[in-house]
Structure 1
Amino acid sequence: MVTELLATSTTTASSITDTDWAEFAAELRPTKTFHGLGDGVVREGARLIRKGDADYETARQVWNAMHQRYPLAIVEAAGAADVVATVNFAREHDLPITPRCGGHSIPGLSTVDDGIILDLSRMRAIQIDPVRKTARVEGGALLGELDHESQAFGLATVGGQISNTGVAGLTLNGGWGWLARRFGYTVDNLISAQVVTADGRLLNASKDENPDLFWGLRGGGGNFGVVTLFEFQLFEVGPLVYGGQISWPIEKAIDLLKFYREWGPRQVEELTTEVIAWHTEEEDGSLSDQAVISMSLCFSGDPKDLDDALAELLAFSPDDMVVEAEWLPYAVLQTQYDEFLRHGFNTYYKYGVLDDLSDEFLETAFNGWLTKKSNHTFMTLGYWGGAMSRAGDDVPFPRNKEPWRAVTEIRWEEAHERDENVQWAHDYWSSIEGYFSTKNQYLNFTGDLGEDLVRDAYGRSVYERLREVKRTYDPQNLFRMNQNIVP
């Protein structure tokens, strides 16, 4: 059902007149100058960008170039009132609408054909309370901005690995990052939210206020409304952590993976690691012809405990080891993949979870990866565990009981390379999916859509409870450009 929505239009541009757009545009906040502050302070107001406008081609693009879609309009909201106006307009005209923050959605859920992109990127205010150790974050903020503000006070919350990822999309589908083994998923640390629902109301959601909506937000994606403000719990972190990569020749891959199988479960929770098979970049930005196998890591504990935490790892094949890890600011570590995973590449993900790692799986997964069509494609294997595996509060987010996760990110540069890379992805995954424990999915890491996938990800009982929340707050499924929960 959702796949069909992404592939076809639910309306046509001709159904929306110039008069309709003009009346709608008049509801949006204009640019204003506030006087009495020196030469005046200008705050950018909302913008309405339509097909044919000079900025349209730039404004419609998202991180994953695989998804080239053509909205009727992009609304750059400047505040919650603009969000309300846009949601009301979309509902009244039966237009598909999709919120966009960082635009990193792997299956292209940040864009839409013949509908409205509600761009929150002008709503990026962040307020840190260093006494309560909390952050109030507008819905368009990026992770790097949250890290920058919170690290000024030696604080951080759990958040991704790419600094230009949107806080909203990461949070609403779970949120994994370098601190997750210590503090759980991003969604575990969400205290409250303000949400514009399908009927145009602005609601507070917390454990005490609209608790059913708050429950649904913590893992239910964008199904229930547009979040204009998040409140997060912060923790004392850094400002220095030990991070980066330790690499070996690709010929060491199987041996390293087998070592990791035994060592990973013994990691302290202050240490998060993943093994990556990849082609790293040269100084000029080109890819190396020679693949390597790396341990990517972040240690956020007491410096005096670092040697003990890494002792076994550093004893693995030290003569072949290249160490590119150091003590560095946490906010800098959060940017280490920004250029490598930059905007404009075509990207497709496959994801699975495992109880354990057999020799057969490791050899099949690695040797299969070697047959990739693009050297931009890489595979990661990580041990999650720690706080991520603990049940915590009752949330719909499909928390993995299985401690191991495998991700293959299939990436290519040119549009004409799509078919061969996607076909390779499906062939490769069919060779290893029999090893996975369940159909559990971390929905931020899947490139696929469909009601069956979503139901399997949550499990039937949680999915049915999510449907009840959906019927309460969005019975007509206005917010359907997502990993959709059908009312």
Structure 2
Amino acid sequence: MEIDGFRGRLITADHAGYDAARAVWNGAVDRRPRLIARCSGTSDVAAAVRFARDHDLEIAVRGGGHNVAGTAVCDGGIVVDLSAMRAVWVDPTGRTARVQGGALWGDVDHETQSHGLATTGGIVGHTGVAGLTLGGGIGFLMRAHGLTVDNLLAAEVVTAEGGIVRASADEHPDLFWALRGGGGNFGVVSSFLFALHPVGPTVMAGPVFWAADDTTDVLRFYRDFVADAPDELGSVVRLGTVPPLPVVPEDLHWRPAIAVACCHAGAVEDGERAVRALREFGTPLVDLLAPTTYAAFQGGLDDTVRHGWHYYWKATDLAGLSDDTVAVIADHAYAAGSPRSYSAMFHMGGAVARVPLDATAYAGRGVAHNIIIDAVWLPDESGEHAAAETAWARRFLQALQPHRAGSVYVNFLDSDDGTSRIREAYGDHTYRRLADVKAKYDPDNAFHHNKNIHPG
């Protein structure tokens, strides 16, 4: 099989590397594409898209392959695979970075931190830049510097017809608006241009763990703690077990616990002051909050969410942390059967909330927190075990229904979250506007193997 104008590698089922090439982060996803087109550059991406359209093939687009729903791979179609396109070019004077569409956040942090710069990225180093960005992009720096999409200056996009355009505030501004939160519905982004900010290289960052029995008290304290937190302080609450990391004493491994992980984007001494009350609260099991490199902190959770494990997610946005909401979280967070399952709650606000709602397609500007319920089990564990973990996630979400903010982060939606939840992620007004842009740039819905927005 050949593709005109394609210089990358074409992988089919008769190749020795086929199974590795079709594998994605979520090991529960097992799909068999007809062809994997591993692109070497933007021209290859365009050639692969034209080939798919000419041969009426289902299209999946792979950047980092990290989406929990497995949208990066399809059955019987073509995977436009950007995973070999991971270059990052930093302009330290202009404080920008151009990043290819297959790069991971660890690649970006590695290059930008050489200059003491960073932009808002995910909290796991092996998360793909493209997927996280196109859905909005939440992370530890967002309260100080905005979402990833708030730092996107331009994008090189391969359209549904196989053309190449540049989207920015001045070029195709409607497409640029839609790319910033609307997902992979409008084209294949072969490269991104991001604004960078002075961060690190040394920051005050890390988690503090308390016993699960302290969850209610910790969450109530945390509610007050973040209410007065400076924008430079990003934090995530994690409820599950203590991961068996080398920096954690062995006697704490897998113990049920609540953790608050922080990263202060400013000077270390300012960070030490900002987290002092947190570190002094109650009786922590272990306190790992300390000066560390930003890059090391960003990759610190990588081994706790490994490639090939099986994952199932449920998520919602929260209006706040009322006592009733805290009670629901404390009652359900530790009811999973797998020690690898957990939930995580992100503190929003700050710079995220100051961007006008209609400036980008990301719609969750006004929420206080969002929460993800992450069921995790190993590939060799039984079907009954998998069913129990997914049931836990669904029960947890159902119990949170009265406390939801009426929205959800689109990047946290799983494969069984249908059209109603996609609409929930955007709201009716933003969804209709996205549908109009979809109709202009992809009227045939060629890019539908995603959290799909139908052409208006």
Which interval holds the TM-score relative to the shorter structure? over 0.9
| Larger CA deviation: 266-275 vs 357-366 | 357-366
2:439 match: 471
Following the alignment from structure 1 to structure 2, what is the Cα–Cα distance between the partners of residues 480 and 330? Answer: 36
| Secondary structure of residue in 1 paired with 2:376 | strand
Select which of 206, 227, 233 maps to 1:265.
227
1:15 match: none
| Secondary structure of residue in 1 paired with 2:302 | coil
Q: Match for 2:412: what amino acid?
A: F
Following the alignment from structure 1 to structure 2, what is the Cα–Cα distance between the partners of residues 303 and 428? Answer: 37
Contact residue 61 and residue 72 of structure 2 kept, 8 A: yes
CA distance 1:187–1:116, change in 2 (3 Å)? same
Q: Match for 2:116: what amino acid?
A: G
1:306 match: 271
Q: What is the TM-score when the length of structure 2 is the normalising length?
A: 0.94
Following the alignment from structure 2 to structure 1, what is the Cα–Cα distance between the partners of residues 254 and 208? Answer: 19
2:88 paired with 1:92 = no
Select which of 127, 136, 143 maps to 1:181.
143
Contact residue 245 and residue 295 of structure 1 kept, 8 A: yes
Select which of 443, 446, 449 maps to 2:410.
443
Contact residue 104 and residue 126 of structure 2 kept, 8 A: yes
Select which of 369, 383, 390 maps to 2:347.
383
Q: Match for 2:413: what amino acid?
A: T
Following the alignment from structure 2 to structure 1, what is the Cα–Cα distance between the partners of residues 233 and 45? Answer: 40
1:400 match: 365
Following the alignment from structure 1 to structure 2, what is the Cα–Cα distance between the partners of residues 219 and 128? Answer: 24
Q: Match for 1:210: what amino acid?
A: H
2:71 match: 109
Please state how far the C-alpha of 1:297 moved relative to its aligned partner.
Answer: 0.9
2:88 paired with 1:120 = no
Contact residue 173 and residue 220 of structure 1 kept, 8 A: yes
2:320 paired with 1:352 = no
2:424 match: 456
**Matching of residues 6-21 of structure 1 within 5 Å:** 21=1
2:308 paired with 1:330 = no
Following the alignment from structure 1 to structure 2, what is the Cα–Cα distance between the partners of residues 462 and 283? Answer: 42
Deviations 1:421-453 (A, max 9, x none): 222222232122221121x11111122432222
Please state how far the C-alpha of 1:157 moved relative to its aligned partner.
Answer: 0.7
Following the alignment from structure 1 to structure 2, what is the Cα–Cα distance between the partners of residues 307 and 219? Answer: 34
Identity within the alignment, %: 40
1:18 match: none
Q: What is the TM-score when the length of structure 1 is the normalising length?
A: 0.89
Please state how far the C-alpha of 1:190 moved relative to its aligned partner.
Answer: 0.4
Contact residue 244 and residue 254 of structure 2 kept, 8 A: no
Following the alignment from structure 2 to structure 1, what is the Cα–Cα distance between the partners of residues 428 and 334? Answer: 37
**Matching of residues 272-311 of structure 1 within 5 Å:** 272-282=234-244, 288-311=253-276
Please state how far the C-alpha of 1:289 moved relative to its aligned partner.
Answer: 4.2
2:6 match: 28
**Matching of residues 43-192 of structure 1 within 5 Å:** 46-192=8-154
Select which of 319, 327, 334 maps to 1:370.
334
Following the alignment from structure 1 to structure 2, what is the Cα–Cα distance between the partners of residues 406 and 212? Answer: 30
Q: Match for 1:327: what amino acid?
A: P
Q: Could you list the runs of 5+ residues in structure 1 that have no partner in the other structure?
A: 1-20, 30-45
| Secondary structure of residue in 2 paired with 1:222 | helix
| Secondary structure of residue in 1 paired with 2:183 | coil
CA distance 1:329–1:226, change in 2 (3 Å)? same
Deviations 1:42-81 (A, max 9, x none): xxxx110001211111111000112111111111000111
Following the alignment from structure 2 to structure 1, what is the Cα–Cα distance between the partners of residues 109 and 322? Answer: 38
Q: Match for 1:142: what amino acid?
A: L
Aligned length: 447
Q: Match for 1:433: what amino acid?
A: Q
Q: Match for 1:355: what amino acid?
A: A
Following the alignment from structure 2 to structure 1, what is the Cα–Cα distance between the partners of residues 346 and 43? Answer: 42
Deviations 1:198-238 (A, max 9, x none): 11110011111111111111111100100111100000111
| Secondary structure of residue in 2 paired with 1:371 | coil
Q: Could you list the runs of 5+ residues in structure 2 that have no partner in the other structure?
A: none
Please state how far the C-alpha of 1:283 moved relative to its aligned partner.
Answer: 5.3
Structure whose CA Rg is larger? 1
Following the alignment from structure 1 to structure 2, what is the Cα–Cα distance between the partners of residues 280 and 311? Answer: 22
Q: Match for 2:345: what amino acid?
A: L
1:16 match: none
Contact residue 86 and residue 102 of structure 2 kept, 8 A: yes
Q: Match for 2:268: what amino acid?
A: P
Following the alignment from structure 1 to structure 2, what is the Cα–Cα distance between the partners of residues 306 and 451? Answer: 42
1:409 match: 374
Contact residue 107 and residue 449 of structure 1 kept, 8 A: no
| Secondary structure of residue in 1 paired with 2:115 | coil
- Root-mean-square deviation (Å): 1.7
Following the alignment from structure 1 to structure 2, what is the Cα–Cα distance between the partners of residues 245 and 337? Answer: 11
Q: Match for 2:131: what amino acid?
A: G
Following the alignment from structure 2 to structure 1, what is the Cα–Cα distance between the partners of residues 224 and 15? Answer: 57
1:5 match: none
| Larger CA deviation: 174-183 vs 453-462 | 453-462
1:242 match: 204
| Secondary structure of residue in 1 paired with 2:359 | coil
